[in-house]
Each structure stands twice: as C-alpha cells, then as structure tokens.
Structure 1
Amino acid sequence: MLEIRNLHAYYGKSHVLHGVDLHVKPGEIVSLLGRNGAGRSTLVKAAMGQVSATGSVKLKNEDILGLKAYQIAYKGLGYVPESRDVFPTLTVEQNLVLGEKSGKRGGRWSLEDMYGMFPRLRERRAVPAGVLSGGEQQMLTLCRTLMGDPDLIMIDEPTEGLAPKIVTLVGEYLMALKEKGVSVLLVEQKLAIAMEISQRVYVMGHGAIVFEGTPAQLRADAAVRKEWLEV
C-alpha cells in the first residue's frame, strides 16, 4: 500500500531524515514510535508532499514523491496532522463536508458513519469547530480526513493531550478503520495504544529507523526501548 525507500528529508540546510525505509501493507496498522525530535512527523509530512525530500515514496505502486499535497490526497493518502487544523469559524458538519473529495461519491464513509462512531460530534454538529474541546477537535479532524475516503491514513499523535477515556475511543476508531480495509500509519508516543492495536512497529532515532518488528518483539527488546523510547 505505502512503500518508502531511502527517504532523505530537509528543512533548509538541515538534514532530518537519513535514508528511511518503511512500508505499510493493505489493511495493516503500523505504528511509528520514537522520542520528540526523532523525525517521525517529518517522515509523514515528506510522504504528504509538505517537506523537501529525495528517495522513493510509492502509494499503491505509484510514485507520489514530488506531487502536491492535494494531488497526493486524491491518490488516496489521508493525513491527520498533530496540530488538528480545524476550520474554527465553520460548524462541525461544515468541516466534515469539506473533507469530501469533489466528484467522488459512494465512498466507505458517510456523515452518519462519523456521527455513529463519535456521537459527540452529532450533538455538536451545528457548533463552530473553534469552540470544541481538544478531544472533540481530534475526533473532528480524524473524521474529516475519513470523509475523503483514503486508502491509507497517516495520523500524527492522535492521543496527545487527550483524557484516557478518549484515548480508548481513538484506539477503537483505528481498529474500525482496519476492519473497513483502511491502512493506518500511526505516529505515537504512547506505547500502550500502539502496542495494542498495531501489527508491526517501527522505532525512529536521529532521523533513521533503529527497529522494525512486531509489538511482541519490541516488548522483548529491552535495549531498544531503553535507548530510543524511555525517558
């Protein structure tokens, strides 16, 4: 579904990613772990065309590196940034409708699906998005991206700053995506949710992949966890 090979990324003269290899299979949840500053957010931004990069990024065997972000989105790659980026003066429902791709109908998701998954959004459907709580904005951003019917969705730190109850809800949401055939690349710091829902995990350190394996293999590798994950 998504195949990244020898990816290098830059902010100006700063070389951030150093030859990253990563792949996500159809219908798979893969977590990208690491400390702040490891390069995880840069990787997903580079895949989405928001950061200058070299190497290879393929979606469904089609090279997308160098395309504009909106072109990449139309190819079927969804992206939920850590900043959430709701349209604050528009209502919840208006935000959701904006996520639909023009000319595309009959996707996997509808407004009713979103409201069914997160009933709180139904209750707040006529409320400006700018007055929502952080958790509600996270739900909205996730659902708005889904309204574009992506084949793979990259989600950057979806549980950051959320209450434990909402974190559990987000985990259930991600499993629901998998059940509908949507692949997920999850950038996360909370090991618990990543290890629970992922089929495979990558660990990044200093702009490179330092571990790839199953959650069970990461649990068994105390040296990797100590060196690259634990504070």
Structure 2
Amino acid sequence: MLAIQNLHAYYGKSHVLHGVHFNVGQGEIVALLGRNGSGRSTTAKAIMGLVDCEGDIAWKGQPIRGKKPFEVAHLGLGYVPENREIFPKLTVHQNLMLGEKSGAKNSRWSFDDMYAMFPRLKERQHTEAGVMSGGEQQMLTLCRTLMGDPDLIIIDEPTEGLAPKIVELVGEYLQRLKARGISVLLIEQKLTIALNISDRALVMGHGSIVFDDTPAALKANPYVRKEWLEV
C-alpha cells in the first residue's frame, strides 16, 4: 500500500533523511524504531506532506510526494503526531467530530465504536479536552484520527509518558485496527510493545533504514540492538 524509495529530507541546510526506503502492506503493523534524532518523525512528516523532501512516496500505486497534508489525509492516510495536538477548548465529542471524513457514507468507525473502545472518553465526552490527563488525550487523538476512516495510520510515539496499563491498552487498540484491515506504521521507542504487536521491524540510524526484518530476527540480533537502539 505504502512504498517509500530513496527519500531525502532537509531542515534548512541539515540533511536529515538519506535515501530512506521501505514498504507497508495492507493490514500490516510495521514498527519504525531508532534513537531520538534518527529521522523517524521526519519520515512520518515527509509522508504526510509536512516537510519538503525528495524521492518517491507512493500510496496504492499513486505518487503522493508534494501533495498538501489535507490531500494526503483524504486519500486514506491518518497521522497521530507525537505532541497529540488536540483542541483543548473543545469537548471530547467536538474533537471527534472534527476528525470525521466529510462525505463518508460507509465509514468503518462511529462515535459508538470510539466510546466502546475507550469507555473513559464516553464518560468525558462533554469535558473540555484540555483538562484531561495525558493518557486520555492520547486516546482522544487516536480516536479522532480513526474518525477519518484511514486505510493506514501513522502513529508517532503513542506510549510516550503513559502509565503501563495505558500502554497495554494502546497495544490492544493497534491490534484491533489490524483486525479491521487497517495498516499501521508505529514509531515507538519501547521495544517490548513494538516487537510484541508488529509484523515487521524497521530500524533507523542516521537518517537511513539499517534493518528491515521480523521482530524475531531483531530480537536475535544483538549487534543491531546495541548499535542502533540501546542507550
């Protein structure tokens, strides 16, 4: 579904991505791992049209590099940024409404689905999002993105700063997405959750993909873990 070839990106004169290449198939969870500064978040932003880049980005065989972020989203790619970006003065329900894809008649997701998946959001549906805990805001951001009915969702550090129980909940949530045929590109630093739920593991180092194989292969490769992941 998503194919990246020879992707380069820059921030001013700083060359951040150096020929990144990988694919994400339908219904596949792919973990994108690496240390801070390795280029993972920049890769996500490049796919979504949020940074200038060079190279090839194809979605379902269609070139999308150079499209505006809203055009990429309308094609079926969802993005959950690391900083969550909820609308703090709007209620939970209003935030979810903003995520709805206009004109969609047969969406896989409804408000009831969101509230069934995360009962805490139902309890707080009339609460301003800005007063909720970090975990609740993360749930809301994930659900708001789903309301756009994406075929692939890019999630950047969804477990950052969350309690262990919420981390487990996020893992279950991602597996539910896969069960509904939605692909996931998961940017994550917690190896345990990433390797437990993903079908493939990518490792980035210095703006390039340095490993692309199964989670089992990564677990069995101490050199890659020590060289590119462990602090």
Alpha-carbon separation, structure 2, partners of 1:97 and 1:67: 24
Aligned to 2:59: 59
Alpha-carbon separation, structure 1, partners of 2:174 and 2:72: 21
Alpha-carbon separation, structure 1, partners of 2:190 and 2:65: 29
1:126 aligns with 2:116: no
Aligned to 2:88: 88
Alpha-carbon separation, structure 2, partners of 1:61 and 1:134: 37
Aligned to 1:196: 196
Q: Which runs of 4+ in 1 moved over 4 A?
A: none
- Displacement of 1:12 in angstroms is 1.2
Could you give the per-residue CA deviations for residues 104-134 of structure 1, whole angstroms, max 9, x where no partner exists? 1220000000000000000000000000100
Residue pairs, 1:1-231, within 5 angstroms: 1-231=1-231
Equivalent position SS for 1:73: helix
Q: How many positions carry a matched residue from both structures? A: 231
Alpha-carbon separation, structure 2, partners of 1:75 and 1:136: 28
Percent same amino acid at aligned positions?
69
Alpha-carbon separation, structure 2, partners of 1:105 and 1:93: 19
Alpha-carbon separation, structure 1, partners of 2:61 and 2:114: 30
Amino acid corresponding to residue 131 of structure 1 in structure 2: V
Could you give the per-residue CA deviations for residues 168-216 of structure 1, whole angstroms, max 9, x where no partner exists? 0000000000000000000000000000000000000000011110000
Alpha-carbon separation, structure 2, partners of 1:193 and 1:60: 28
Alpha-carbon separation, structure 2, partners of 1:196 and 1:59: 26
Equivalent position SS for 2:88: coil
Q: TM-score w.r.t. structure 1 length?
A: 0.99
Could you give the per-residue CA deviations for residues 112-164 of structure 1, whole angstroms, max 9, x where no partner exists? 00000000000000000000100000000000000000000000000000000
- Displacement of 1:13 in angstroms is 1.3
Alpha-carbon separation, structure 1, partners of 2:227 and 2:138: 30
Alpha-carbon separation, structure 2, partners of 1:13 and 1:26: 36
Equivalent position SS for 2:202: strand
Amino acid corresponding to residue 5 of structure 1 in structure 2: Q
Amino acid corresponding to residue 123 of structure 2 in structure 1: E
Amino acid corresponding to residue 159 of structure 1 in structure 2: T
Could you give the per-residue CA deviations for residues 2-60 of structure 1, whole angstroms, max 9, x where no partner exists? 10000000111111000000110000000000000000000000000001100011111
Equivalent position SS for 1:169: helix
Q: TM-score w.r.t. structure 2 length?
A: 0.99
Amino acid corresponding to residue 116 of structure 1 in structure 2: A
Alpha-carbon separation, structure 2, partners of 1:138 and 1:174: 13
The alignment yields a C-alpha RMSD, in angstroms, of 0.5
Unmatched 5+ residue regions in structure 2?
A: none
Equivalent position SS for 2:8: strand
Equivalent position SS for 1:154: strand
Alpha-carbon separation, structure 2, partners of 1:228 and 1:210: 8
